[in-house]
């Protein structure tokens, strides 16, 4: 059989069935904001190379409303950009802790279980912070982090967080 494009996979009856099963299991509600009277999407929490769209377990999929789904992908892209900064700038590797980055990436299944355990063991507060940031919507992130910045909460991470927020803002402009 010829290789199916992703769009073709999403039109396949096997995905339609998987989608319905997932929506039923979730009670036809957004897993993030609990809205049920809006357009709902079935989101892949992660992609594994070579798997068809329907070849995922229940816990690898989540039901999200249209807006929460968009936020989810925007946050994921932002986190991927942070990872690029981390690898590009040696100086930031020391400044921007492994715990925080692992916390940010953990909700997306982009880091190994071992890394998550290591981060929670050694940098629990930074891990919690990163995890918290990525559990919020993008606009909430900026305002929540800015509020805490003004309270002087982040110690050595203050500079990095300001840098990130300013970068976000100049991209929005
Ligand atoms: Zn939602
Ligand atoms: Zn998605």
Of the ranges 25-29, 157-161, 163-167, which is most confident?
25-29
Number of structural domains in the chain: 2
Q: Which two tokens stand for residue 78?
A: 């932002």
Tallying the residues shown for the chain, one arrives at 173
More confident residue, 13 or 152: 13
pLDDT tens-digit map of 127-158: 767 776 765 545 555 566 677 677 766 665 66
pLDDT tens-digit map of 95-134: 456 778 877 777 676 777 787 777 777 776 777 677 767 6
Q: What is the mean pLDDT of residues 148-172?
A: 65
Q: Tell me what pLDDT residue 92 has.
A: 44
* Same domain flag for 167 and 106: yes
* Same domain flag for 45 and 114: no
Pick from 138, 72, 84, 82: which is nearest to 109 by CA? 72
Q: Which two tokens stand for residue 150?
A: 């003004």
* Same domain flag for 21 and 96: no
Partners of residue 43 on adjacent β-strands: 62
80 conformational bin, left if phi > 0, alpha if psi -120 to 50, beta if neither: alpha
Q: Which ligand is nearest to the CA of 38?
A: 1
Gap between the Cα atoms of 54 and 126, Å rounded: 35
* Same domain flag for 129 and 162: yes
Cα 75 to averaged position of ligand 2 atoms, centre (Å): 11
Q: Tell me what pLDDT residue 36 has.
A: 93
- 142 lies in a domain? yes
* Same domain flag for 152 and 92: yes
Domain ranges, residue 20: 6-66
Cα 153 to averaged position of ligand 2 atoms, centre (Å): 33
- 29 lies in a domain? yes
Q: Tell me what pLDDT residue 145 has.
A: 63
End-of-domain residue from the set 47, 66, 85: 66
End-of-domain residue from the set 66, 90, 115: 66
Q: Tell me what pLDDT residue 135 has.
A: 56
- 1 lies in a domain? no
Q: Which ligand is nearest to the CA of 26?
A: 1
* Same domain flag for 21 and 102: no
pTM: 0.52
Cα 71 to averaged position of ligand 1 atoms, centre (Å): 9
Question: Does the pLDDT value for residue 94 go beyond 70?
Answer: no
Q: Tell me what pLDDT residue 73 has.
A: 83
Residues 6+ apart with CB under 8 A from 60: 44, 45, 46, 109
Q: Tell me what pLDDT residue 95 has.
A: 41
Gap between the Cα atoms of 5 and 1, Å rounded: 12
Residues 6+ apart with CB under 8 A from 79: 104, 105, 108, 110, 134
Q: Are 101 and 86 in contact (CB under 8 A)?
A: yes
* Same domain flag for 81 and 153: yes
pLDDT tens-digit map of 16-38: 999 999 999 999 999 989 999 99
Neighbours of 73 (CB within 10 A): 12
Cα 51 to averaged position of ligand 1 atoms, centre (Å): 27
* Same domain flag for 46 and 76: no
pLDDT tens-digit map of 33-79: 999 999 999 998 877 888 999 999 988 899 999 998 988 887 777 77
* Same domain flag for 52 and 79: no
- 145 lies in a domain? yes
């Amino acid at each position: 059989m010829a290789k199916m494009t992703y769009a073709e996979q999403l039109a396949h009856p096997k995905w339609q069935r998987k989608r319905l099963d997932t929506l039923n299991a979730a009670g036809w509600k957004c897993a993030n904001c609990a809205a049920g009277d809006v357009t709902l999407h079935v989101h892949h929490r992660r992609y594994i190379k070579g798997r068809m769209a329907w070849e995922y377990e229940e816990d690898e999929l989540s039901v999200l409303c249209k807006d929460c789904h968009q936020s989810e992908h925007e946050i994921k892209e932002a986190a991927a950009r942070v990872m690029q900064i981390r690898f590009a700038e040696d100086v930031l590797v020391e400044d921007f802790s492994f715990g925080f980055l692992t916390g940010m990436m953990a909700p997306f299944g982009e880091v190994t279980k071992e890394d998550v355990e290591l981060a929670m063991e050694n940098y629990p507060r930074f891990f919690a912070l990163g995890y918290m940031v990525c559990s919020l919507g993008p606009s909430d992130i900026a305002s929540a982090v800015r509020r805490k910045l003004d309270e002087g909460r982040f110690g050595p991470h203050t500079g990095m967080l300001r840098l990130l927020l300013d970068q976000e803002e100049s991209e929005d402009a």
